[in-house]
């Protein structure tokens, strides 16, 4: 059935309260195809990271466990973006409860990604700024505990922020056939501070400290490299390894800030004409960010390139492949 304007309705039996079926123009179809392709790529690449770090025992280091947690959250975000691309071509027929559950899960996973970035920044801060304390402060057991707390805190926080939306599904939905989230203005301001401004500030402060310390250490190593003895050369090599890891994860953090900050700033855009164009750009950057981290790992981490070859050749199915030397 069509409404008075000739548009098809999602629920023809609910003439006065049904949403219109989305119209997909040629430009919108091209945009959705790009989003679908990026989402599939995000799922595949992050799945490779998950398999690599999970399977090979030598990669079970504190830093790599944080990378694993980030890959899991990006993998789930990639699945969510696939659902988002599909929703732009059809109506939501799964009811208000599943809509509220989907919004809650999406917010929880996104919050976990932010938390993972804070943990990665803290990991590099300790490794570079207070290296003597790193082996005792950042252990595999502690990192597992931090990751568990990160996921749990994100789940609890988003449950509290979206409490009204979860207990009253459909509260912020103007018509049947759409699935969108919402919250009161006061809660939105509070959420903007805690979920965007505060985390970004912490990440920037930590990595600025890391950057300043890393530069000074790199200069010190270059000035003393000719004078080191064999005994001290191992210390120098370890320090170079930590600096390389800081550089690689620094690229990850910078990419995260570049891709997420436009998305976070959407809530501060008041002009609807600007908001429409800017929101499209911000959401595209957000979706692209989910697949960029594995690309960065492939460029900077030889162990990830080696793991991809072993996965592609199915050598990980051989007995004892977990003990393969990856470094």
The DSSP-derived string for 243-295 is: HHHHHHHHHHHHHHHHHHHHHHGGGG---HHHHHHHHHHHHHHHHHHHHHHHH
Instruction: Determine the average pLDDT of the residues in 183-194.
Output: 80
Q: How far apart are CA 28 and CA 272, in angstroms?
A: 19
pLDDT digits (tens, 9 = 90+) for 25-58: 787 788 888 888 898 999 999 999 999 999 999 9
Residue 277 has pLDDT above 80, yes or no: no
pLDDT at site 112: 94
Residue 282 lies in a domain: yes
pLDDT at 157 over 50: yes
- Own/partner long-range contacts of 24-28 (Cβ < 8 Å, ≥24 apart): 24/88, 24/89, 28/88
What percent of the chain stands above pLDDT 90?
23
Instruction: State yes or no: pLDDT of 235 exceeds 70.
Output: no
Q: Is 16 part of a structural domain of the chain?
A: no
Q: Give the model confidence (pLDDT) of 208-226 as tens digits.
A: 888 888 777 666 666 655 5
What is the reported pLDDT for 270?
53
Between 4 and 252, name the one with better pLDDT: 252
The whole-number pLDDT of residue 81 equals: 87
Domain of residue 318, CATH code: 1.20.1070.10
Distance CA 227, CA 143 (A): 37
35 located within any domain: yes
130: in domain: yes
Residue 19 lies in a domain: no
Task: Give the alpha-carbon dihedral of 172, 285, 113, 163, to 10 degrees.
Answer: 0
Structural domain of residue 123, as residue ranges?
26-322
Residue 231, in any domain of the structure = yes
Q: Within 10 Å of residue 273's Cβ, how many Cβ atoms?
A: 8
Number of structural domains in the chain: 1
Is the overall model pTM greater than 0.95, yes or no? no
* In a domain? residue 9: no
pLDDT at 234 over 60: no
Q: What pLDDT is recorded for position 229? A: 47
Residue 96 covered by a domain: yes
Measured between alpha carbons, how far is residue 271 from residues 68, 165, 275, 276, 315 in Å? Answer: 39, 26, 6, 9, 55
């Amino acid at each position: 059935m069509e409404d008075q304007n000739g548009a098809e309705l999602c629920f023809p039996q609910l003439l006065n309260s049904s949403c219109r079926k989305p119209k997909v123009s040629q430009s919108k179809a091209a945009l959705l195809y790009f989003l679908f392709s990026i989402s599939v790529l995000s799922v595949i690449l992050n799945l490779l990271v998950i398999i690599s770090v999970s399977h090979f025992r030598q990669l079970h280091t504190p830093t790599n466990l944080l990378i694993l947690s980030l890959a899991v959250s990006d993998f789930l975000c990639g699945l969510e973006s696939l659902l988002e691309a599909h929703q732009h071509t059809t109506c939501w027929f799964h009811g208000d409860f599943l809509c509220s559950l989907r919004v809650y899960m999406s917010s929880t996973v996104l919050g976990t990604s932010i938390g993972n970035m804070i943990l990665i920044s803290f990991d590099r801060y300790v490794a570079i700024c207070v290296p003597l304390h790193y082996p005792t402060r950042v252990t595999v057991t502690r990192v597992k505990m931090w990751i568990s707390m990160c996921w749990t805190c994100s789940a609890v926080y988003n449950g509290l922020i979206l409490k009204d939306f979860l207990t009253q599904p459909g509260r912020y939905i103007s018509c049947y056939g759409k699935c969108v989230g919402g919250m009161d203005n006061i809660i939105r301001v509070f959420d903007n501070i805690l979920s965007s401004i505060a985390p970004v500030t912490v990440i920037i402060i930590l990595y600025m400290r890391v950057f300043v310390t890393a530069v000074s250490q790199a200069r010190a190593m270059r000035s003393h490299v000719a004078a080191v003895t064999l005994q001290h050369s191992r210390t120098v090599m370890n320090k170079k390894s930590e600096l390389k890891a800081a550089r690689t994860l620094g690229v990850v953090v910078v990419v995260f800030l570049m891709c997420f900050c436009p998305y976070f700033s959407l809530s501060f855009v008041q002009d609807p004409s600007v908001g429409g164009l800017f929101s499209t750009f911000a959401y595209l950057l957000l979706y692209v960010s989910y697949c960029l981290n594995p690309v960065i790992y492939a460029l900077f981490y030889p162990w990830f390139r080696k793991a991809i070859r072993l996965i592609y050749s199915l050598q990980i199915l051989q007995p004892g492949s977990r003990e393969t030397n990856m470094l």
